[in-house]
Amino acid sequence: MKVSYNWLKDFVDLKGLTPEQIADKLTVSGFEVEEIVYINEHLHDVYVGKIEKIEKHPQADRLVVCSVDVGFKEVQIVTSATNVFEGANVPVSLEGADLCNGVQIKPSNFRGVKSDGMFCSGEELGIDENYFEGASINGILILPKDFVPGTKIEDALLLNDVVFDINVTPNRPDCNSVVGIAREICAMFGKKFKDFDISYKTVGDDVNKYVKVDVETENCPRYSASYIKNIKLTRSPLWLRSRLFSVGIKPINTMVDITNYVLVEQGQPMHAFDYKYLDGHQIVVRQAKKGEKIAVLNGQTYELDKDVMVIADANKPVVIAGVIGGVNSCISDSTTETVFECAVFDLKSVRLTAKKFGLSTDSSARYSKGVNINLPSVALKRALHLVDKLKCGDIVGGIVDFCKTELNQKQVLKISYSKVCKILGFEVSKEEMTKILNGLAIETDIVGDEMTCVVPAIREDIKTVNDIAEEVIRIYGYDFYNNIDGIVFENCSTTMGGFEPRLQFENGLKNILVDEGFYETLNYSLYSASACDKLLLAEDDVRRNVIKVANPISEDLSTVRTVMAHAMLLDVAYNLSVGNKDLRFFEQGKIYLPKKLPLTELPVENDRLSFAVCESGFDFFNLKGVVENLLVGTSLKYKLQRSKEPYLHSGVSADIVAEDGTVVGWFGKIHKTVLKNYDIGQDVYYGELDTDYLSSLPEKEHSTKEVSKFPPVERDIAIVVDEKITNEELMSAIKSASGKIFYDVNLFDVYRSDALGEGKKSMAYKIVFMSEEKTLTGDEINQAVNKILKSLQFRFGAKLREN
């Protein structure tokens, strides 16, 4: 919201207050000033000058030398402009000037003739024809005869304003106006609000004879209109143009300017119709009919439907309500009679229509914030006052006022004074509090602890004691809290802090992965629906039951994820594509599994840890090591089974299956076809764990027993077996054959060769024996080894490998 400093002066005495002081106070009181714009920023050292004499330049045909009276001195200006003449008043920029087109003025020499400065065009002053007559011509701006030489140009052209760009919070729609901000400034500085004039003279007669208004839609709670005839359309006076110009609105003609003036000053959007183009002299506020079209002021033609509210005449839509007017009924040079509209439209309806057509107008922006139901009548009178003041038409008596709901009334709040202090945490004296609230036009009376506040009708935001507390503290000043020294939670009960167990558990896993050389990634939980296809999920895979965003930003962000691997593979592919190597990534994230589609209740949000490695020399067993390190600290008892994950290599992957049969994760090499789908040219190893499940397990218990006093003895054996025999089978056979003296067994070599034969492998184990009772003898060890070999031979046909 842009607010002009000069405009504010109409309603509040700003003497002694600089724009900066006002801006600071506005900011700390809840109206953040995002920017202060000085309209005269590029107008210093520019004056009104009168050309006394023009002589030809002795050396150059195209230049002339002018003697100019700039009030406080005579200067000489050399110019090539051809529209200057003796006696003309012109803007003269002198040494030090810094014009808005970047030109900086220094005295210079034009072929031997000194020039003290430069005459300016309208463009060089940042204005155009709309603002000032002659400002758009190709040449110097010729100023009116009555301008006094030596006057600063900013004062002569009323370009001496300062504008605050204020961020008005959504709870204060009343402050999207000059008067709203002026009222606030009054409260902040303890000043009195100067009321505005809404009086006007009519030519009698009755508006109802000329205009009929019908409101047929729910979306228009109030519609006020008036009728003006014998319109004399002219340029508005400079003071009015200046104010519109300051806040970025183009001055056009009196009628249009008045509607804009009221919009900015009162916060009430208005519209002016050309009466002769209103068929049936009728105004109908209704929803558009499907197929209706309207050509509007921005040059576009829109096709309408029932979601769009329009103002229509007897036959056709003439305005998209609250958004933009149609060309067919707008004010033009031929307008002689007009109808003014001041209405309240449903903010949501206006907002959605504006968005639908991609339109943002001053009117739609204002309506989207909410217009008070009381405002139209006041604003309409203010507009009529201006019509009267500018003498630009004859106002017909009476106004049409359709109002569906009751107007807002002052409301009385009865609250507790001590409760206000309790919310603030310190005591504001009754006198101080009363003064602050009265300053905000909240008439307040405090008797004992009982506080009565009469809240003005425009303050729809004030409903409770907390709202009153906020009004008090924002004017009292939040600065108070900057200087307090309090004990933290002085008045609060002691509570025990802690992490939700899952979060703590996940942090532990993350740290393990970091130690294993992994980097944490974060991915969007939305992706393209094609993820399931790329990962080769079967048609009946439950993860194909995806939750779809109803209004996605794009196809790539249309689906809530049900698998982690997609994002991880995209990360790997991206990194490879930019030349990064040796990738170890993990992500802790959620997948979202609907119980039923379409969603009727919230889905299950399942926390998963996914990890991937793309690194030369890394294989399945390295990955298995990572998985074991992740799981060793948990109490999970699990076994590995061949994985059925469709995106993993069927031979080089495993599911982690808990004792209760739950698959708590899987890991393995990524399927070749999947790699191709992601344009990845190297092997990728991937794993995933269900951290919801894992974190729900009881904590791992560590019960220990005494360590043996006697030394362990190691023996190595290498046996040849069929490929199909697994390490696990052999190890458990070794363990059971060793009996009581078994301590440990490890596979330390697997060997295949032609000599061993097709389908055979050599497995070398280091077996450790130990007794808790005595030192083992060579014979005892030999016996045990023999027993093991026999057992392996009997069960698996294993033969001792001969070197």
Partner 1 sequence: MKQKLEEILKNGLCEIEKVSDLKSLDEVRVTYLGKAGVLTQILRGMRDVPAEERREIGSLANSVREQIEKKLSEKWANLENEKLLADMEKEKVDITEPSKGVKRGALHPLTRFNNKFMEMCVEMGFTVIQTPEIETDYNNFEALNVPKNHPARDMQDSLYITENILLRTHTSPAQVRAMHMFKPPFKIVCPGRVYRNDDDSSHSPIFNQFEALVIDENVSLKDFMTMVKEMAVRLYGKDVKMRVRPAYFPFTEPSIEIDATCQMCGGKGCSLCKGTGFSEFFGGGIVNPRILEMAGIDSNKYSGFAFGPGIDRSVMVTNKIPNIKYLFRNDLRFLKQMR
Task: Identify residues 374-403 at the interface with partner 1 (CB under 8 A).
Answer: none
Beta-strand relationship, 583-593 and 519-520: parallel
Looking at residues 526 to 545 of the shown chain, list those that interact with partner 1 (rule: CB under 8 A).
526
Find the largest Cα–Cα distance for the chain.
131
Contact status: 218 vs partner 1 (CB under 8 A) = no
Judged by beta carbon, residue 37 or residue 547, the one nearer partner 1 is: 547
Give ∠ CA 262-265-267 in degrees, rounded to 5: 75
CB of 332 to partner 1, least distance (A): 35
CB of 346 to partner 1, least distance (A): 8
Interaction mask 32-71, partner 1, x per CB under 8 A: x---------------------------------------
Contact status: 347 vs partner 1 (CB under 8 A) = yes
Give CA separation, 357 vs 21, 80, 208, 681, in Å.
Answer: 41, 48, 34, 47
CB of 312 to partner 1, least distance (A): 24
Of the candidates 94, 97, 560, 792, which one interacts with partner 1 according to CB under 8 A? 560
Of the candidates 469, 509, 532, 627, which one interacts with partner 1 according to CB under 8 A? 469
Judged by beta carbon, residue 323 or residue 400, the one nearer partner 1 is: 323
Looking at residues 111 to 150 of the shown chain, list those that interact with partner 1 (rule: CB under 8 A).
none
Of the candidates 495, 616, 753, 803, which one interacts with partner 1 according to CB under 8 A? 495
Separation between Cα atoms, residue 344 and residue 68, nearest integer Å: 55
Contact status: 405 vs partner 1 (CB under 8 A) = no
Secondary structure element (H or E) that encloses residue 579, with its range:
none
Contact status: 628 vs partner 1 (CB under 8 A) = no
DSSP string, 702-741: ----PPPSSPPEEEEEEEEEETTS-HHHHHHHHHHHHGGG
Looking at residues 742 to 781 of the shown chain, list those that interact with partner 1 (rule: CB under 8 A).
none
Return the residue matching tokens 């904590």. 699
Burial of residue 768 (CB within 10 Å: 0-12, 13-18, 19+) is: middle
- Give the binding range for partner 1 (CB under 8 A) out of 208-216, 450-458, 577-585, 647-655: 577-585
Looking at residues 423 to 462 of the shown chain, list those that interact with partner 1 (rule: CB under 8 A).
423-426
Backbone angles phi, psi at 322, to 5 degrees: 75, -5
Contact status: 599 vs partner 1 (CB under 8 A) = yes
- Give the binding range for partner 1 (CB under 8 A) out of 24-32, 312-320, 440-448, 680-688: 24-32
Of the candidates 174, 571, 655, 690, which one interacts with partner 1 according to CB under 8 A? 571
Contact status: 580 vs partner 1 (CB under 8 A) = yes
- Give the binding range for partner 1 (CB under 8 A) out of 57-65, 152-160, 292-300, 422-430: 422-430
How many alpha carbons fall within 13 Å on the CB side of residue 419? 12
CB of 307 to partner 1, least distance (A): 13
CB of 607 to partner 1, least distance (A): 9
Contact status: 348 vs partner 1 (CB under 8 A) = yes
Judged by beta carbon, residue 327 or residue 503, the one nearer partner 1 is: 503
Contact status: 355 vs partner 1 (CB under 8 A) = yes
Residue type, 525: S
Of the candidates 554, 616, 703, 753, which one interacts with partner 1 according to CB under 8 A? 554
Contact status: 610 vs partner 1 (CB under 8 A) = no
Of the candidates 366, 382, 584, 608, which one interacts with partner 1 according to CB under 8 A? 584
Interaction mask 170-189, partner 1, x per CB under 8 A: xxx-----------------
- Give the binding range for partner 1 (CB under 8 A) out of 270-278, 395-403, 497-505, 642-650: 497-505
Which DSSP category does 549 fall into?
A: P
Number of residues that bind partner 1 (CB under 8 A): 95
Of the candidates 368, 374, 634, 695, which one interacts with partner 1 according to CB under 8 A? 368
Which DSSP category does 766 fall into?
A: E
- 540, two tokens: 């009946």
Reduced to 3 states (helix: H, G, I; strand: E, B; else coil), residue 533 is helix
Looking at residues 151 to 170 of the shown chain, list those that interact with partner 1 (rule: CB under 8 A).
169-170
- 619, two tokens: 């294989």
Instruction: Give the strands of the sheet with 2-4, arranged side by side.
Output: 2-4, 162-167, 32-38
Separation between Cα atoms, residue 400 and residue 211, nearest integer Å: 8
CB of 372 to partner 1, least distance (A): 14
Contact status: 525 vs partner 1 (CB under 8 A) = yes
Give CA separation, 754 vs 261, 293, 723, 764, 801, in Å.
Answer: 97, 85, 14, 17, 14
DSSP string, 595-644: SSSS-SSPPEEEEEEEEEEE-TT--HHHHHHHHHHHHTTS---EEEEE--
Separation between Cα atoms, residue 389 and residue 474, nearest integer Å: 38
- 782, two tokens: 């030999």
Residues 652/645, Cβ–Cβ less than 8 Å: no
Contact status: 617 vs partner 1 (CB under 8 A) = no
